[in-house]
Amino acid sequence: MAKKRQVKFSLLFRDMWQSAGKYVPRVDQLVKVAPAIVKMGCFARVETNGGGFEQVNLLYGENPNKAVREWTKPFHEAGIQTHMLDRALNGLRMNPVPADVRQLFYKVKKKQGTDIARTFCGLNDTRNIIPSIKYAHDGGMISQCCLCITLSPLHTVEYYTKMAFELIEAGADEICLKDMAGIGRPASLGEIVKNIKAKYPNLPIQYHSHAGPGFSMASILEVCKAGCDYVDVGMEPLSWGTGHADILAVQAMLKDAGFDVPEIDMEAYMEVRTQVQAMMDDFLGYYIPARNRQMNSLLIGPGLPGGMMGSLMNDLNDALESLNKYFAKNGKPAMTQDQMLIKLFNEVAYVWPKMGYPPLVTPFSQYVKNMAQMNVIQMEKGRERWSMIADDIWDMLLGKSGRLPGPIAPELIEKAKQQGREFFTGNPQDSYPDALEGFRKEMAENGWELGEDDEELFELAMHPQQYRLYKSGQAKADFEADLAKKKADKAAAGGAALPQTVQVDVNGQMYAVTVGEAGAMPVAAAQAPAAVAAGAGEGKELASPLEGKFYLVKAQGEPAVKVGDVVKAGQTVCYIEAMKTFNAIAAECDGVITEICFNAGAAVSEDDVLMKIKG
């Protein structure tokens, strides 16, 4: 009797949360659930951290370095490998990272307890991935390189086979088929795995997919038949929907197909399930849109990845609220969520080929979605398509993030020419010089500790804006206020009395946060945005074209405008961060800045006055 071929499982604990909503559990919750995950006995690997994980820790006021160290420890003690997701040139964030920060990244994460670096480039540009192979090896990590699976005339079986061979020849220890939208077709995915195994039979292959469009179970079966070694899975109550196939179903299917798969301790499974539900009831569920718990074959068309659907629905609801305010102001009927969603999906399908067919994975899935959403908003307000393109999106279109798979549309080339933007054909890393020393100096000036193994230095360098807000306490105050609002809104729907006041603990100091009528914005008094001293504040008002967070600069070291500066019409004077991208706001006239109305990181609504400029 032939020996059954073994297939191992990896629990996507990080991605389960990111694919469902906005936030991840606190470190105390992670440490509590870890023993039950170990006791389940069926996981060879657990995805513990990576892209998205550390930013959201900072956003609700928790130190991600502490979280990663404590969270990975119980798995190491049990002999379970931990892996993380990283974005190659973009590290753990949405925009490119200097080379010295990338190198420090792998050293820090290995010291913190992460074994495997799963590296992908959102453009499938191997020039961005190959340096990470060396950086991972230098840091002592296993380098697992990804093929970002999408479906277009350019993304064929031959395309992905060639890409895999190039990465393996460059030193990749493993290959992951990252089917981030779950739209890879089962037969084609099997062919890719078969091609890799034919040339490299002993090289481990891992398959990652999302359940949303409905292909994932068939795809898992096909890749396993072709030789796949590891399969990524989720578990209830966060499997399926925009998340991942459930471990119970996958295990039963593969067992029936004749594979050697591990047994599952069902008592431990139910314990993990119970704890995850408790985390959702505590606060995480307030950021999980109900629609993300459903599978939807409409996702086949736009091909948007499960990992961004959590943030997509939150962003869409914010955009819809803003748009409906505009409609009400102009005597037009409100738009429903379904109407907005269909318009968005249709616009994604329209803009994607015009933007050069970037694989729809972070950050470029967000860029395509953000561009589509901005187009929808602008066109609904009677403005032109492409009238507002964020700087990060321009960088992608111009080639600064890597080589696009296809050409961009002539109207975008013409728009770039009109704005004096130049296309870039060199190595993307060359555009982003080393920066660690500048961040080291900033930490010294602020009296901040570099941290064990320079991990705090790394955190500032990787997530500058979020880390500064974390250190000031504003991130935690903003989060607590937002959560209080969501809880109050839910209570109001059930008839609870309002207003109510909650206490917010920021770095040991208590602040009162008052939440008014349902739908009203809460204000943490100690953290309320204040106008920068600006004299009389005369002149033309520069209004925000969208909701988001206000910043004068988007990166460390950039000069910021100040009151008294002379500016020219068309000059960028500030940014609004919305949907994880920085949108440049330009002066509308020549003149002198007389007032800057918000501090960095302050939340602004559409039509809020950002600054005043006197001609």
pLDDT at 517: 35
Backbone angles phi and psi of 394, in degrees to 5: -60, -45
Q: What's 615's DSSP letter?
A: -
Q: Which two tokens stand for residue 325?
A: 């305010």
Amino acid at the residue 520: A
If one compares 582 and 191, the residue with the highest pLDDT of the two is: 191
Residues 6+ apart with CB under 8 A from 272: 33, 36, 37, 40, 235
Confidence of residue 605 (pLDDT cuts 50, 70, 90): confident
Q: Using 50, 70 and 90 to split pLDDT, how confident is the model at 519?
A: very low
DSSP 558-612: PPPP-TT-EE-TT-EEEEEEETTEEEEEE-SSSEEEEEE---TT-EE-TT-EEEE
Tell which CATH architecture fits domain 9-292. Alpha-Beta Barrel (3.20)
Q: What is the pTM of this model?
A: 0.78
Which pLDDT does position 85 carry in this prediction? 94
pLDDT score at 305: 57
Round the average pLDDT of the chain to a whole number and report it: 88
> In one letter, which amino acid is 409?
A
d(CA 115, CA 136): 10
DSSP per-residue letters across 16-65: HHHHHSS----HHHHHHHHHHHHHT--EEEEEEEETTHHHHHHHTT--HH
- 31 within 8 A of 74, measured Cβ to Cβ: yes
Question: Tens of pLDDT along 86-127?
Answer: 999 999 988 899 999 999 999 999 999 999 999 999 999 999
Q: What is the pLDDT of residues 318-344, one digit of tens each?
A: 778 878 888 888 899 999 988 888 888
**Mean predicted confidence (pLDDT) in 27-54:** 94
Which pLDDT tens digit goes with each residue over 377-418? 889 988 899 988 988 899 999 999 999 999 999 999 999 999
pLDDT digits (tens, 9 = 90+) for 461-480: 999 989 999 999 999 998 99
Average the pLDDT over 298-327 and give the result: 69
Q: Are 367 and 402 in contact (CB under 8 A)?
A: no
Least confident of 151-160, 241-250, 335-344, 564-573: 335-344
Query: Any idea how long the chain is?
Result: 615
Residue 144 one-letter amino acid: Q
Alpha carbon distance 301, 179 (integer Å): 15
- Predicted confidence at residue 298, as pLDDT, reads 66
Condensed to tens digits (0 to 9), the pLDDT of residues 42-91 reads: 999 999 999 778 888 888 899 999 999 999 999 999 999 999 999 999 99
Are 12 and 239 within 8 A, CB to CB?
Answer: no
- Please compute the mean of the pLDDT values over residues 287-306 and round it to a whole number: 71
DSSP tally for the chain: helices H, then strands E: 20, 19
Q: Is pLDDT at 37 greater than 90 in this prediction?
A: yes
At residue 312 the predicted structure's pLDDT band, cuts being 50, 70 and 90, is low
Distance CA 440, CA 243 (A): 38
pLDDT digits (tens, 9 = 90+) for 113-169: 999 999 999 999 999 999 999 999 999 999 999 999 998 889 999 999 999 999 999
Using 50, 70 and 90 to split pLDDT, how confident is the model at 516?
Answer: very low
Strand partners, 45: 10, 81
- What is the model's pLDDT at position 547? 81
> What pLDDT is attached to residue 459?
96
Do 540-614 and 9-292 fall under one CATH topology?
A: no
* Closest by Cα among 59, 98, 62, 57 to 601: 59
Is 50 exceeded by the pLDDT of residue 501?
no
pLDDT in tens, 363-374: 888 888 889 988
* DSSP state letters, 257-276: TT-B-----HHHHHHHHHHH
**Confidence label for 306 from pLDDT (cuts 50, 70 and 90):** low
pLDDT at 507: 44
Residue 308 has a pLDDT of 53
Residue 160 CA from chain centroid, whole number: 24
* Residue 248: strand pairing partners: none
- Which tokens go with 529? 């945005």
At 365 the pLDDT is 84
| pLDDT bucket at 264, cuts 50 / 70 / 90 | very high
Q: Side chain identity at 359, as an amino acid letter?
A: P
Q: Is the pLDDT of residue 304 over 90?
A: no
Does residue 345 or residue 450 have the better pLDDT? 450
Do 601 and 465 contact (CB within 8 A), yes or no?
A: yes
Please determine, for residue 359, whether its predicted confidence score (pLDDT) is greater than 50.
Answer: yes
Closest CA relative to residue 106, chosen from 77, 71, 142, 70: 142
Nearest to 595 by CA among 554, 560, 564, 559: 564
pLDDT score, position 330: 87
For 303, other C-beta atoms within 10 Å of its C-beta total 25
Given a cut of 70, whether residue 610 has pLDDT beyond it is yes
Domain boundaries, the chain: 9-292, 540-614
User: In one letter, which amino acid is 592?
Assistant: V
Topology of the domain covering 540-614: OB fold (Dihydrolipoamide Acetyltransferase, E2P) (2.40.50)
State residue 504's pLDDT score. 44
Higher-pLDDT residue of 490 and 196 is 196
Question: For residue 451, is pLDDT > 80?
Answer: yes
Write down the pLDDT at residue 491.
Answer: 82
More confident residue, 142 or 497: 142
